Amino acid sequence: MPPKPSMSIKPFKPSMPSNPSLPHARYSQMEQPIECIYRSDSPIHGAPFHSHAYYEIYYFQEGECTYLIGDQLMMLQPGDLILMHGMTLHCPNPSPHVPYVRSILHFDPAYVHKLLRPEPAANLLRPFERLRNVRLALGPEEQAEIDSRYKELAMLFDARKREGGAASPIDRLDVVFLELLVLIRKWLDKPTGESRQRPQQEEHVQGVISYLEEHYKEDLTLDRIADALHLTKPYLSNLFRRVTGTTVFKYLYNRRINQAKILFRFEPFRSVSAVSREVGFGHLAHFSRLFKATVGMSPQQYRRQMSENSGEKPAEEEQNER
């Protein structure tokens, strides 16, 4: 067990941070500031693209899985640990032929700032904010360590839920959670080994993703993408779907919608039509239809929600955009 964090801990108060303009100012889409599942093997149907305001520590334990995070394609191996900045669009594509086992920790970065003073809190969150998304290939000893941490965290999380919240200003769940962040910082400081060699087909799919990331705001066709990468259209389409679990254009549209969510979150004064154009949609009706199908609410409703959270007044064009 690594030494306990040599950090000053300030008492936890249940109020929100005083500065609502901070990206971590609210517990978004989470019932608890720390949520943990251990060795889940529930199947995933389709390739569910998603993003969220909280951070994620994902530990892959068994199975075969391709993980798409932003513009990175990762062919996972058991023992891989991924640190995610949740606002990046991400999507697992596990093989349906073998059990898909993973442990996942979600946490609100605002909660770390409540538990610790600013400097140590910023130090522990820096890997998520600077690196955005990083994969660590853990060795056998590190896997045993992380497995025991997840197991304890999941038990403590379930106990906290049953009790309706933390029983004291800082409890055992908070301590183990902070120890996990310290442990990850220690692993990140170690020299990394040689990167894994990518198979040619994976390189081709990574090339498509990188191209889409660079040009997603433009008017794209499959012909243009295939020509730019010197691939045939049938090969490109079939390979992309087989590796990622989704189609080229489903990925493209999800990328655009996710960028629109980011713009609405941090610039809620922007009009829906302006955001639609900026992320690459030529027709507002197409953007609105896809946004509602993906997010579960219209872009006007989502922008209004983000505006209420930030205190910004949205652009006055609601009637024209409906």
Same domain, 262 and 284: yes
In the chain, the amino acid numbered 271 is S
The reported pLDDT for the residue numbered 311 is: 62
CB atoms inside a 10 Å sphere around CB 206: 17
CATH of the domain at 159: 2.60.120.280
193 within a domain of the structure (yes/no) = no
Same domain, 135 and 160: yes
Question: Is residue 159 helix, strand or coil?
Answer: helix
Which residues, 6+ apart, have CB-to-CB distance to 14 below 8 Å?
Answer: none
Residue 55's alpha-carbon distances to 69, 267, 312, 316, in angstroms, are 13, 21, 24, 33
pLDDT value at position 21?
Answer: 29
Residue 206 resides in a domain? yes
Q: Are the CB atoms for 66 and 41 separated by under 8 Å?
A: no
Which run of H or E residues covers position 232?
none
Choose the final residue of a domain: 188, 220, 235: 188
The C-alpha atoms of residue 226 and residue 153 are separated, in whole angstroms, by 46
Q: Are residues 108 and 163 in the same domain?
A: yes
Note the pLDDT of residue 119: 95
The confidence score (pLDDT) of residue 210 equals 94
Joined together, the tokens standing for residue 126 give 């820096």
* Any domain includes 161: yes
- Concatenate the DSSP letters of all residues of 88-154 into one string: S-EEEEE-TTS--EEEEEEE-HHHHHHHB-HHHHHHHHHHHHHSSEEEEE--HHHHHHHHHHHHHHH
Q: How far apart are CA 207 and CA 71, in angstroms?
A: 9
CATH of the domain at 301: 1.10.10.60
3-state secondary structure of 83: strand
Answer whether residue 160 is part of any domain: yes
pLDDT per residue rounded down to tens, the chain (322 residues): 444 443 333 333 333 333 332 233 233 467 899 999 999 999 887 667 888 889 999 999 999 999 999 889 999 999 999 999 888 889 999 999 999 999 999 999 999 999 999 999 999 999 998 767 889 999 999 999 999 999 999 999 999 999 887 667 789 999 999 999 999 999 998 765 545 667 899 999 999 999 999 999 999 999 999 999 999 999 999 999 999 999 999 999 999 999 999 999 889 999 999 999 999 999 999 999 999 999 999 999 999 998 887 666 655 554 444 4
Do 54 and 147 lie in a common domain?
A: yes
Q: What is the pLDDT of residue 192?
A: 57
Question: Where is the domain boundary, 188, 209, 233?
Answer: 188
**How far is it, in rounded angstroms, from Cα 51 to Cα 64?**
22
Claim to verify: residue 159 and residue 54 sit in the same structural domain: yes
131 and 67 within one domain: yes
Helix (H, G, I), strand (E, B) or coil at 184: helix
Residue 11 forms part of a structural domain: no
Number of domains within the chain: 2
User: Whole-angstrom Cα distance, residue 286 to residue 248?
Assistant: 17
Same domain, 152 and 240: no
Q: Is there a single domain that holds both residue 153 and residue 72? A: yes
* Distance from C-alpha of 34 to C-alpha of 38, rounded to nearest angstrom: 13
153-to-37, 92, 166, 179 alpha-carbon distances in Å: 8, 23, 13, 11
Report how far residue 34's alpha carbon sits from residue 110's, in angstroms, rounded to the nearest whole number.
Answer: 11
Identify the domain containing residue 129 by its residue range.
34-188
Do 184 and 205 lie in a common domain?
A: no
Residue 14 lies in a domain: no
Are residue 266 and residue 315 in the same domain, yes or no? yes
Q: ∠ CA(196), CA(234), CA(257), 5° rounding?
A: 70
What one-character-per-residue DSSP string does 38-71 give? Answer: EEE-----S---B--SSEEEEEEEES-EEEEETT
238, 116: one domain:
no
Q: How far apart are CA 72 and CA 210, in angstroms?
A: 8
CA angle 131, 64, 204 (to 5 degrees): 65
Domain stop point among 138, 162, 188: 188
